[in-house]
Structure 1
Amino acid sequence: MAPLRWGIASVGLISHDFVTALATLPKEDHQVVAVAARKLEDAEKFAKKHDIEKFYEGYDALGKDPTVDVVYIGAIVIKHFELGKMMLDYGKHVLCEKPLCVNEGQAKQLLNHAKEKKLFFMEAIWSRFFPAYIHLKKRIDSGELGDITEVEAEFGYPLAGIERCKLNALGGGTILDLGVYTIQVSLWVFRDYPVKITAKGQLNDDGVDVAMEATLDFPKGGVARIKTSALGLLNNKAVIRGTKGTIILHDFWSCVSLTDIDGSLVEFPLPKARYDFNFPNSCNLRYEAEATRQHILAGKLESESIPHSESLRIARIEDALRRQIGVRYAEDEQFKA
């Protein structure tokens, strides 16, 4: 069986991590055949480092490459809609970094376009493919945690000075950059949409949130308390409480260990990679890459773990949080949900 042939759109830090993680998987299953960036020299440098045969200036050339089966989009969020639509128009399957789009309106248009093109498209909510998340899901499904009553998830790093995080025009703010993780873990646990969302936050001079706290009330009485910050380090744990016990996901967004119901530490070691990663535990990206391959081989257009409907729920919650805090993007006028 031929390997899944990847094209990489954008050569930033996360694209380096993705390709490095991909290289830990069997070569007969995954092959990176091309990379594109806005500047040819950047694409060439990336290609040489990662032993990629073809490199392109601009993303149209990547889309036109007949040897590319699927494109990984690692660009900043304001480029996701444009690049996602472009790659679909060129007949490519797509794995697009999170958050999927700036708002629900954009996400809905993009996912509808994928359906029309009959191509696989997935928002890269990598956490849901981790062994730790699968372990948690089994505990919930088996009833060992009892009825889930509460999720506490907080995610914070000192990011306030980073351009993509602080500028409104770049889709900045912690709700999109960090909040997507706290939202997705809450939905993963409760498997429902909140009946009430209550948020407060702190904005910078450019009108994007540097801190956010919110409560999501779910239909059966469960509550998720989520918190994000670009001002400093938070505990970065997700605590899942049920009537029969508690599980804690450590560094829940890139989790490789958890404290189980009995208080024991369960670890999920990652393989050694060729290069160092830019972000913690990025070798975990290998799991979503392999899931993408399996879905495409099976002829599926979306993933059961992060279906299109779930991406829209996440975007809808992000929009609700931003509205309450007062964060508005130019795209909010152009793309209505």
Structure 2
Amino acid sequence: MKSSIGWGILGPGKIAQKFVDDLKLVKDGKLIAVASRSLKRAESFVQKNDAEYAFGSYEELFSCDTVDVIYIATPHTGHMEWTIKAMQAGKHVLCEKPLGINLAEVQEMISTARDNKVFLMEALWSRFNPAIQKVKRFIDKGKLGRVSYLNADFAFYGLNADEKGRILNPDLAGGSILDIGIYPVFLAYLILGKPLRIHSTSNFHKTGAEIQTSMIFEYEEAQAILYSGLTSESSMRAEIQGTKGSIYIDPRWHETDGFSIYIKNSEKRVDLPTKGKGYSHEIEEVHYCLKKGKLQSDLWSHQNSIDLISLLDEVRRQSGVVFPFE
């Protein structure tokens, strides 16, 4: 792999702009090309971000020789199709979370990556957040004792969104679970692993989209209480309790800059600011893997993505969340 890695953007929306802002902070990465179904939109994004090429179709991006890796930033329903087509064209892929809508999609995407011997990673940026990595290492070393309780949520008010947009439209896999519920489920999985049992219940919007989901993950000696919703804001301070003490991850915990540790009535602050918004850390992981010739990340592997979507599938099954196209 060459010293500078060329990126392509597929789907130049709001999240893609945040991603590119952070890409500019990573010294060995460069934005080469942007593809949109609207050439005018691609050209506007290219001009704003000093890229080289604007394409009015996704297929043109796949043929760009100077693009090494493509960031897929479409709505959820486009992840599998465009990730697979990019990989079949020989491109490495970082696909925005969730990697696929369900387990079958994720398995097909991973199978395609293996068949084409290209790198594939789910863009679960929280896994690469410095503070969350520090929390994980602290707990893995046993410093918190046996973890017995975890509480995490993610909620914002979204009921005023366009009912045909991705948030409230079941045809676009709308609802809170895949969009933001994935984060608290991820944290429970990261810290406690796969649960023995899941209990889940949801409320729904008039469009049929799920808008509130409460979850209990049961473990042999622990429970995780998780929530995602579009009906109100939440504090988004995550709590992890162990037999030796507690950790409180600062809001908003999924993109946090630090946390507090409480052990034996003493508090210790850990401040680890992100570089930029925080997407830079997952970009650096992609670069590391590509330069080492790795086809998946050790920090967030293909199996991790399979485990995560399996948990989300079970949450949806219990809550009765089925998309029209499934």
> TM (normalized to structure 1)?
0.92
Shift of 1:259: 1.4
Instruction: Please give the alpha-carbon distance, in whole angstroms, between the structure 2 residues aligned to 1:160 and 1:306.
Output: 32
Shift of 1:269: 2.4
Shift of 1:221: 1.8
Instruction: Please give the alpha-carbon distance, in whole angstroms, between the structure 2 residues aligned to 1:112 and 1:128.
Output: 23
Shift of 1:303: 0.9
The SS at the match of 2:104 is helix
The one of 190, 193, 207 equivalent to 1:188 is 190
The residue correspondences of 1:1-337 to structure 2 (distance < 5 A) are 2-26=3-27, 29-162=28-161, 163-190=165-192, 192-218=193-219, 220-250=220-250, 251-261=252-262, 262-271=266-275, 283-332=277-326
Instruction: Please give the alpha-carbon distance, in whole angstroms, between the structure 2 residues aligned to 1:169 and 1:101.
Output: 15
Instruction: Please give the alpha-carbon distance, in whole angstroms, between the structure 1 residues aligned to 2:269 and 2:39.
Output: 46
Instruction: Please give the alpha-carbon distance, in whole angstroms, between the structure 1 residues aligned to 2:223 and 2:283.
Output: 32
Tell me if structure 2 keeps the 8 A contact 1:254–1:284: yes
Tell me if structure 1 keeps the 8 A contact 2:129–2:274: no
The SS at the match of 2:294 is coil
The SS at the match of 1:258 is strand
Aligned residues: 318
Tell me if structure 2 keeps the 8 A contact 1:102–1:331: no
Amino acid at match of 2:9: I
Q: Deviations over 1:131-185 (max 9, x none)?
A: 1012101211221100111110011001223321100001101000111101111
Shift of 1:51: 0.3
What is the Cα-based RMSD across aligned positions, in Å?
A: 1.2
Unaligned 5+ residue runs, structure 2?
A: none
The SS at the match of 2:189 is helix
Instruction: Please give the alpha-carbon distance, in whole angstroms, between the structure 1 residues aligned to 2:312 and 2:160.
Output: 22
Instruction: Please give the alpha-carbon distance, in whole angstroms, between the structure 1 residues aligned to 2:93 and 2:309.
Output: 18
Amino acid at match of 1:92: K
The SS at the match of 1:260 is strand
Instruction: Please give the alpha-carbon distance, in whole angstroms, between the structure 2 residues aligned to 1:161 and 1:84.
Output: 31
Tell me if structure 2 keeps the 8 A contact 1:103–1:331: no
Instruction: Please give the alpha-carbon distance, in whole angstroms, between the structure 1 residues aligned to 2:81 and 2:56.
Output: 16
Q: Deviations over 1:268-305 (max 9, x none)?
A: 2245x6xxxxxxxxx20000000000011111111111
Tell me if structure 1 keeps the 8 A contact 2:121–2:297: yes
Shift of 1:330: 3.2
Amino acid at match of 1:74: A
Instruction: Please give the alpha-carbon distance, in whole angstroms, between the structure 2 residues aligned to 1:116 and 1:150.
Output: 41
Unaligned 5+ residue runs, structure 1?
A: 274-282, 333-337
Q: Deviations over 1:206-230 (max 9, x none)?
A: 2221001010112x32211100110
Matched with 1:276 is none
